[in-house]
Chain A
Amino acid sequence: MLQVSIDPAKVPQELSQKTPGYWASVGRRFLRDKVAVGAALVVLGLVLLALIGQWLAPADPYASSMLSRLKPLGTPGHPLGTDELGRDMLSRLLTGARLSLFMGITPVLCAFVIGSCLGILAGYAGGAINSTIMRTIDVFYAFPSVLLAIALSGALGAGIFNALLSLTIVFVPPIARVAESVTTQVRGRDFVEAARASGAGAFTIVRVHVLGNVLGPIFVYATSLIAVSMILASGLSFLGLGVKPPEPEWGLMLNTLRTAIYTQPWIAALPGVMIFITSISFNMLSDGLRSAMDVKQ
């Protein structure tokens, strides 16, 4: 017979090192997902571009020249050609990253805060409060999101702030609905009951036990909306409801260059390519986050 003796004083030494928390393990799984890491790097690059793009620009993005309009790709001095007013495309794309990303992220961020508050309140309170909040929010579902954004922007008037406001209003309902459904699930779990049984108030329970379990899923959903927000913001700019010319913003550039689609299709497509890259990276990033978080907790 094999005799195994274990000195109890020694065993815990090895095992007592702090095990990684939930977020650490999410990070580890995320790093193993090559597509998601790639998308994260692209997003990081875009954010960097938004911060320093205007200093990278080789030329003044506002300087127009009637002599060099719609030059093709690879023109000396203008590697990405020029637009319909002869402005350097590369400079405008680099400078435009800031405004485009701002228009994509800000409304989602605001809607994340507002929608989470509403949804968690509705989900945790339940009953009449839930019905009041959720039915009000359902009203917004009656309109397609593009139409709603256009209608709100149109009613509020053109301008960046109004565009942001209308996009925020568009994104609050879906985020609130996701927040409500995950909160309702968490609320029914026994550990929330146990917290109530230990005499904790609703605010403490939400802070300690609900937030940690619901913010992750809501955040993942919100990142997937950034792409939608960028496209909607571009759409608003395209319709003249968001950013005004001559500001460089990808959506607006796509709009003003559409007349050149037959003469210089590559130039006209460039802002669209940027929007596409941005939105698809955000989508893949949120997919990666979702699968990294969607493992047995």
Chain B
Amino acid sequence: MNTAVASPAASSTAATPLLRVRNLVKHFPLKGKRVDGKPAVVRAVDDIDFDVLEGETLGVVGESGCGKSTTARLLMHLINPDAGEIVFDGKVVGSRELSLREFRRQVQMVFQDSYASLNPRLTVAESIAFGPMVHGESRDTAERRARDLLERVGLSPARFAERYPHELSGGQRQRVNIARALALQPRLLILDEATSALDKSVEAQVLNLLVDLKADFGLTYLFISHDLHVVRYLSDRVMVMYLGEVAELAPSQALFETPHHPYARALLASMPTLDPDRRTEQAPLAGDPPNPVNPPSGCRFHTRCVFAEPLCSQRAASLAPATARSREGADPLHVVACHMMQAGSGHSQTGLSQTAPSGAATEQVSA
């Protein structure tokens, strides 16, 4: 637990990952068949691998529909994965060593919609106490823990324990949801856009609460958000997703300073800046993401990528360190799925220096 404060680079080499996800796949079948006779499927999550290290905060970013929330729900088995392996603390989830029920006790989730995720017929204390009671604690113990947790998330138990969700503000409700998630004493907390629906000022308070709770309880966070500023503030490492695949995965600082994947660069360029001299004049990316029902061949980003070459539409790049970007050996923690970044891939841009390609996107980021 004490590695929480250590730098992610230091802890990642030593510790075994708390959560290891391999080849996770979820395709949602659509009704009817496509013109060519094959059944149509939405490739919501298509073969992704990642680790979450003990004590870190892994941020997950990407456009709407890139598979962020599906990934979260797959991890909790709220929807069943089509394929893939989830290993928690060295044990395969669903095996005899670690049942799904026990896994769900150790991994909890906070949802985006603070109102929909609380039962309107239960008081705040009852909602929080539900989880522990499911896992065999007496009503008294569970309610006492609910009151303790309310205190921990900054809500006075005397005032709030007996209230109903509709009497609370959005920020208060989300605090209750966090308390509810913590009631089972989990080790990993999945925060699926947990602060996105809140006012900026309230969001800041809840984010600070999350930082405090993480230190107090020795938690690990999987933080899903489309708000890059928030992700940068909170995360040790960041995973960029595009159309159900991982585009880039890197320590937070490395990603925000030198994003390798053209999509990651464009995404970061879309961050609003407070500096009027560096306003975004040109849209970093044109158009919407392609339809995940029929994703582009090869690298899925090639349809919108300014560096796309025939190679990109033929062969998908695998997630690997950026060997084409560094003479003295690429950072093994900074992996990217782009041909340009991988020496010997055959892309004409390999071996160029970091700032070579022109365009608004890169200028924004490298500045």
Residues of A within 8 A of B177 (CB): 194
Size bracket of the A interface: 20 to 34
Residues of A within 8 A of B116 (CB): 189-191
- Using CB atoms, name the residue of chain B closest to A198: B131
Select which of B127, B134, B158, B164 is within 8 A of A12 by beta carbon. Answer: B158
Query: Of residues 130 to 157 in B, which have CB atoms within 8 Å of A's CB atoms?
Result: 130-131, 134-135, 156
Residues of B within 8 A of A15 (CB): 159
Select which of B119, B156, B158, B181 is within 8 A of A212 by beta carbon. Answer: B119
How far, in angstroms, from A41 to B181 measured CA to CA in the complex? 46
**Given A12-B156, A12-B159, A199-B101, are A213 and B121 also a contact pair (CB < 8 Å)?**
yes
Complex contact B159–A197 (CB within 8 A) = no
A162-197 interface bits toward B, Cβ cutoff 8 Å, 1 = contact, 0 = none = 000000000000000000000000000111011111
Tell me if A209 is interfacial: C-beta within 8 Å of chain B: yes
- Using CB atoms, name the residue of chain A closest to B118: A191
The tally of residues in B whose CB lies under 8 Å from a CB in A reads 38
Highest count of chain A CB atoms <10 Å: which of B73, B119, B177: B119
- Which secondary structure dominates where chain A touches chain B? helix
Complex contact B164–A193 (CB within 8 A) = no
A284-297 interface bits toward B, Cβ cutoff 8 Å, 1 = contact, 0 = none = 00000000000011
Shortest beta-carbon distance from B29 to chain A in Å:
13
Residues of A within 8 A of B121 (CB): 22, 212-213, 297
- Using CB atoms, name the residue of chain A closest to B72: A197
Complex contact A194–B164 (CB within 8 A) = no
Query: Of residues 96 to 116 in B, which have CB atoms within 8 Å of A's CB atoms?
Result: 100-102, 104-105, 108-109, 111, 113, 116
Complex contact A213–B78 (CB within 8 A) = no
How far, in angstroms, from A283 to B289 measured CA to CA in the complex? 52
Complex contact A194–B180 (CB within 8 A) = yes
**Given A197-B109, A199-B105, A200-B134, are A21 and B164 also a contact pair (CB < 8 Å)?**
yes
Tell me if A16 is interfacial: C-beta within 8 Å of chain B: yes
Complex contact A195–B166 (CB within 8 A) = no
Select which of A12, A22, A198, A200 is within 8 A of B120 by beta carbon. Answer: A22
Complex contact B104–A199 (CB within 8 A) = yes
Select which of A19, A212, A296 is within 8 A of B162 by beta carbon. Answer: A19
- Using CB atoms, name the residue of chain A closest to B100: A199
- Using CB atoms, name the residue of chain B closest to A15: B159
Tell me if A18 is interfacial: C-beta within 8 Å of chain B: yes
Q: Could you show 29 A-B contacts with beta carbons less than 8 Å apart?
A: A18-B162, A19-B163, A19-B167, A21-B123, A22-B164, A189-B116, A191-B117, A193-B73, A193-B111, A194-B111, A195-B119, A195-B130, A195-B134, A196-B78, A197-B108, A198-B108, A198-B130, A198-B183, A198-B184, A199-B102, A200-B134, A204-B134, A208-B119, A209-B119, A212-B119, A213-B119, A297-B120, A297-B121, A297-B166
Tell me if B311 is interfacial: C-beta within 8 Å of chain A: no
Residues of B within 8 A of A (CB): 73, 76, 78, 100-102, 104-105, 108-109, 111, 113, 116-123, 127, 130-131, 134-135, 156, 158-159, 162-164, 166-167, 177, 180-181, 183-184
**Given A19-B164, A193-B111, A297-B166, are A199 and B134 also a contact pair (CB < 8 Å)?**
yes
Highest count of chain A CB atoms <10 Å: which of B120, B156, B180: B120
Residues of A within 8 A of B (CB): 12, 15-16, 18-19, 21-22, 189-191, 193-201, 204, 208-209, 212-213, 296-297
Shortest beta-carbon distance from B314 to chain A in Å:
40
Complex contact A213–B120 (CB within 8 A) = yes
How far, in angstroms, from A12 to B161 measured CA to CA in the complex? 12
Residues of A within 8 A of B156 (CB): 12
Complex contact A190–B166 (CB within 8 A) = no
- Using CB atoms, name the residue of chain B closest to A215: B121
Query: Which 9 residue pairs are nearest across A and B when measured between Cβ atoms?
Result: A190-B117, A198-B131, A212-B121, A297-B120, A199-B104, A190-B116, A200-B134, A199-B101, A190-B111
- Using CB atoms, name the residue of chain A closest to B127: A191
**New A-B contacts (10) at CB < 8 Å, excluding given A190-B113, A212-B121, A213-B121:** A12-B156, A22-B121, A189-B116, A190-B117, A191-B116, A193-B117, A194-B111, A194-B180, A197-B104, A199-B134
- Using CB atoms, name the residue of chain B closest to A188: B116
Complex contact B159–A296 (CB within 8 A) = no
